[in-house]
Chains A and B, each alone.
Chain A
Amino acid sequence: MRLLQGVSDHHIMPRRGALVVSLGIVNVVMTHRNAYFVVPDGADKAQILKNSLDSNFYTVNVLEH
């Protein structure tokens, strides 16, 4: 049934020990250790994404501590 769904829809699919997030622009598999962002091929803005997420991670860590 899942294969018949349109891939343009946004989904958050919980799995055991993982969370699959497909929000169009953000496609990520999150575990308790890592977050794997699937970047489109040829995306030259990936470094911008990395810097942005780096700063957000830093902000979150600072706020948590």
Chain B
Amino acid sequence: MRTRVLCVVRERHSSPVSRTMSAGERMRSLSPELSPAVTLPRLAGMQSLQDGSASTSDTLRLAELSESLKLARQAREQQAVAEHIQAQLVTASFAEYYARRQETPRQGEHQSPPNGAAHQQLRNEMPTKQRAELAQPVIESALPPQADGVTSRRRSSTVVTGENVNAALAVATATMDPSPPKITAQEDSDIGMQSLLETESHALLILQFSDTGSAIMRTDLSRTDLLDECRNDIDPHRMSSSTRKLSKSTSLGQLAELEREPPAHSRSHNAAAGALGTASLANLHLRDLRYLQGSAILNETSKYSVFSAQIY
């Protein structure tokens, strides 16, 4: 019906726009899918029809169609603005989250994104290219710093494509996680030193002055060896240290013998025991040397510097 009316109008005014428009084209031009560059001249042409003697219903219909077109165009613009704002929010959220993780990586380890579901939703909604752009600086910062130009060129040429961006994000997150605490070599050596001290086999640093005034630095004496040397000095008649040299793996029985108090018997008994090499006249014991060494270790840092200053 209305198509027929327009046909009448076309016959009367014979405008170039209306002459070239068919009924289907006209309906398509009024639909919101067409671009304004096409529809606006056509509407202008139709508007020109209102100047003439078009019917009132036709004029009302044209006004109604132009109004609906305007509303559709406004809705499309609002939708574009909303998408742009959403993309900006997602970008800002990811940038802030990863910047916070970079600043405090240890705290970030226990820190999840503000809400996990929303974070996952943002990751899903974020365009792939945008996620790749976000992941690139995170991966670059997660890599160890290199000074050589080759490595920097290689790193700068690293491209995170859209397909592997999730894997790249996972790699970056795993790289930033701190490794579990390990036992250092220093702690290991301390443990070994402690066990050596407990078994009395740790070599002491000893400065030995003889009665003739000669001095030698000895590092081949353990605490048990030093005790043996001292007892040989005290009781020269006891068995020589060369035959009674304690091995490195000193047994507990030998240690007990060294710790044992000499019997408070007669001198003749002690002489007989000394001849057998099982006892000594000296009441110098291993605990005395332990005390001596413990005092030396304790005063190593606090008083040795004072001592060296006094020497100067």
Contact = CB atoms under 8 A, between A and B. Distances in A.
Interface of A: 2-3, 5, 7-8, 11, 13, 15-18, 20, 22, 24-29, 31-43, 45-46, 48-50, 52-54, 57-58, 61
A44 to B, nearest CB: 10
Interface in B138-188: none
A45 to B, nearest CB: 4
B254 interface: no
A46 B217 contact: yes
A42 B292 CA distance: 17
A2 B287 contact: yes
Nearest to B301: A40
Interface string B225-267: 0100110011100000000000000000000000000000000
A57 B209 contact: yes
Contact of A46 (B207, B230, B288, B291): B207
Interface in B264-312: 281-284, 287-289, 291-300, 303-304, 306-308, 311-312
A48 to B, nearest CB: 5
* Residue of B233, B282, B287, B303 with most partner-chain A CB within 10 A: B233
Q: Is the interface of A mostly helix, strand, loop or mixed?
A: mixed
B296 A50 contact: no
* Residue of A22, A32, A48, A50 with most partner-chain B CB within 10 A: A22
A57 B213 contact: yes
Contact of B233 (A24, A28, A33, A50): A33
Contacts of B284: 15-18, 20, 29
Given A18-B233, A49-B311, A53-B209, A38 B293 contact: yes
